[in-house]
Amino acid sequence: MHTLLHLVLTGRAGTQIKAEILPVWIPFARRIQSSATQNRRNPAMLFDLIKCHARLFSLQRDRDADGGVIAREEDFVAAAKLFSALSGTAGSQEMKLTKNEAAAIATVARMGIDMFTIRELQSALGLSYHQTYRLLHGYTNNRTTSASWRNVRR
Query: For 119-125, which contacts have Cβ atoms below 8 Å and span 24 or more sequence positions?
Result: 125/100
Q: What is the pLDDT of residues 42-84, one digit of tens each?
A: 778 888 889 989 988 889 999 999 999 999 999 999 888 888 7
pTM, entire model: 0.50
Average pLDDT, the chain: 75
pLDDT digits (tens, 9 = 90+) for 24-41: 999 998 888 766 555 556
CA dihedral 79, 81, 83, 86 (to 10 degrees): -140
- Work out the pLDDT band at 95, boundaries 50, 70, 90: low
33: left (phi over 0), alpha (psi -120 to 50) or beta: beta
